[in-house]
């Protein structure tokens, strides 16, 4: 009874590629001994006015004339000690910060595997943003020295080569973008774990962060925090009370920790969650449907009106869609639905209400507009959002978003770290960064125990008529 689905493999690759991340390898490294070099002097002048002490005036005859001299104002100028930039750490000199940028080689992927992907290589976008940073003073006067490295998203081998190249051969201070590909997210640990090299990118799990010796920070939202954030979004938009009792269905047992956290958040919001179960038949359509049918009978007896999917439970989701509008469906990770407009799931035309959380990116956002003002002149074209692209047009939007967010976040933290730039000062700066805004994400925060910045989500509903996601809310702070 199991049926094949020829678009699934390609769809999985496209969804993974939409993350656009970096790479990994083996070995070890340490920080370079600081060596004093040139100094960049900064002088700050402060002006103070001397104020005389208050005294009681002597008794005078009524017709006496009293003359009071006003003390002259004095100005004191203090000069702070000059800021001395040194070779403070591996990849950091008095003049430069060596930054690695790991990205997918889309052109080579298409050439090698014959699968055309619509994305542009990132190099020109990265070069444009680095030129912008350097032309606006760098970071405390240090210029960015950029190292490009490319990989193919077909497993860990290409990623490991990239990691060795950036961390061991070039000894960069930080890697931006990182690696994301089918089943290879964990190879990102090569940078902050194996090589003690800062990584900005990917979506680290708590276990991976525990294995990292260097800071690993993401501008995105971790999947582990997504459930609680979705509950906050539903509450903030006034939609939570309408959902009734909820059943949580996990794609497999690996999602049980996320399911437990999501359930706790729902119960904390006074919602009923009578069923929370992970599928034990992953990859077997017949067994998955049989398992789901038993659960649905139980759900009906518990008066469940909403089912939340955690993970890519495609077989179960498509089966539920074909049941019509019996249940409202919540999809925990809206980013996983990016390809629905091109390749919608089977049976979706029969489904009832579908809700998720996602971003609606627009160049009208001030931070995004600034990003485009840097990228577009270098490309010599207008960067269009994916919904405006015609079939066959190259997608520059995804790369622009990743490049701007990565460099904005890095520049914020490195600037806060001060002139003595090291792994430790970078970590301390990140943990004290607080709230901030970056391209297409007005709400972000980083602090102790929180390494994923994004706090911005919008509630979205699938439009059956237009076959697109439509926004039901403005970008909302879901922290």
Q: Which domains does the chain have, with CATH numbers?
A: 20-31+87-217+362-439 (3.40.50.2300), 224-360+459-477 (3.40.50.2300)
State if pTM tops 0.75: yes
Alpha-carbon distances of 161 from 25, 252, 360, rounded to whole Å: 6, 31, 35
CA-CA distance, 121 to 101, in Å (whole number)? 12
State residue 75's pLDDT score.
Answer: 59
Q: What pLDDT is recorded for position 56?
A: 38
Q: How many residues does the chain have?
A: 479
Model pLDDT, residue 431:
96
Instruction: Tell me how many degrees the CA angle 437-443-445 measures, rounded to the nearest 5.
Output: 85
Residue 13 has what pLDDT?
Answer: 40
pLDDT at 11: 36
Contact 21, 305 (CB under 8 A): no
Q: Name the nearest CA neighbour of 292 among 313, 273, 274, 306.
A: 313
Check if the beta carbon of residue 201 is closer than 8 Å to that of residue 222: no
* Cβ atoms of residues 378 and 348 within 8 Å: no
Residue numbers of the chain with a pLDDT score lower than 50? 1-70
Q: Are 310 and 250 in contact (CB under 8 A)?
A: yes
Strands 246-250 vs 306-310: parallel, antiparallel or unpaired: parallel
As beta bridge partners, residue 329 has: 307, 354
Beta strands at 354-358 and 456-463: parallel, antiparallel or unpaired: antiparallel
Question: Which residues pair with residue 234 across a beta bridge?
Answer: none
Angle ∠(432,206,197) on CA atoms, nearest 5: 65
Nearest to 68 by CA among 80, 81, 84, 52: 52
Q: What's the CA gap between 363 and 382, in Å, rounded?
A: 11
Beta bridge partners of 331: 309, 356
Burial of 218 (0-12, 13-18, 19+ CB in 10 A): buried
């Amino acid at each position: 009874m199991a049926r094949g689905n020829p678009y699934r493999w390609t769809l999985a690759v496209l969804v993974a590629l939409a993350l656009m991340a970096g790479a990994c390898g083996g070995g070890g490294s340490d920080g370079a001994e600081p060596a004093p070099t040139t100094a960049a002097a900064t002088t700050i002048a402060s002006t103070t006015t001397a104020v005389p002490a208050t005294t009681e005036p002597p008794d005078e005859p009524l017709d006496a004339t009293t003359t009071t001299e006003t003390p002259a104002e004095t100005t004191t100028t203090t000069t702070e000690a000059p800021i001395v930039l040194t070779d403070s750490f591996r990849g950091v000199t008095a003049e430069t910060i060596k930054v690695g940028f790991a990205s997918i080689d889309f052109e080579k992927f298409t050439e090698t595997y014959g699968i055309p992907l619509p994305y542009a290589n990132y190099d020109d976008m990265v070069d444009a943003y680095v030129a912008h940073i350097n032309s606006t003073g760098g970071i405390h006067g240090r210029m960015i020295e950029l190292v490009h490295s490319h990989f193919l998203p077909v497993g860990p081998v290409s990623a490991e080569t990239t990691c060795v190249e950036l961390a061991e051969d070039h000894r960069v201070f930080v890697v931006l973008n990182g690696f994301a590909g089918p089943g290879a997210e964990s190879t990102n640990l090569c940078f902050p774990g194996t090589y003690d090299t800062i990584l900005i990118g990917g979506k680290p799990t708590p276990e991976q962060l525990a294995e990292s010796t260097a800071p690993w920070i993401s501008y995105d939202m971790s999947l582990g925090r997504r459930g609680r954030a979705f509950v906050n979004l539903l509450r903030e938009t006034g939609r939570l009370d309408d959902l009734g009792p909820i059943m949580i269905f996990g794609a497999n047992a690996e999602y049980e920790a996320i399911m437990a956290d999501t359930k706790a958040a729902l119960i904390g919001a006074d919602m009923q969650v009578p069923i929370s179960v992970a599928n034990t038949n992953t990859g077997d359509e017949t067994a998955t449907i049989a398992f789901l049918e038993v659960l649905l009978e139980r759900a009906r007896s518990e008066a469940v009106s909403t089912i939340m999917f955690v993970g890519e439970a495609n077989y179960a989701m498509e089966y539920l869609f074909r049941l019509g509008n019996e249940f409202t469906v919540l999809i925990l990770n809206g980013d996983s639905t990016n390809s629905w407009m091109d390749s919608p799931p089977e049976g979706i035309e029969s489904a009832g209400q579908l809700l998720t959380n996602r971003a609606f990116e627009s160049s009208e956002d001030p931070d995004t507009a600034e990003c485009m003002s840097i990228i577009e002149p270098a490309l010599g074209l207008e960067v269009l959002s994916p919904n405006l692209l015609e079939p066959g047009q190259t997608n520059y939007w995804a790369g622009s978003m990743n490049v701007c967010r990565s460099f904005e976040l890095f520049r914020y933290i490195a600037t806060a770290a001060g002139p003595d730039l090291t792994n430790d000062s970078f970590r301390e700066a990140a943990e004290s960064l607080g709230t901030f805004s970056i391209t297409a994400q007005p709400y972000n925060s980083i602090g102790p125990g929180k390494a994923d910045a994004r706090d911005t989500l919008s509630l979205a509903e699938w439009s059956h008529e237009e076959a697109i996601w439509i926004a039901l809310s403005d970008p909302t702070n879901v922290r």
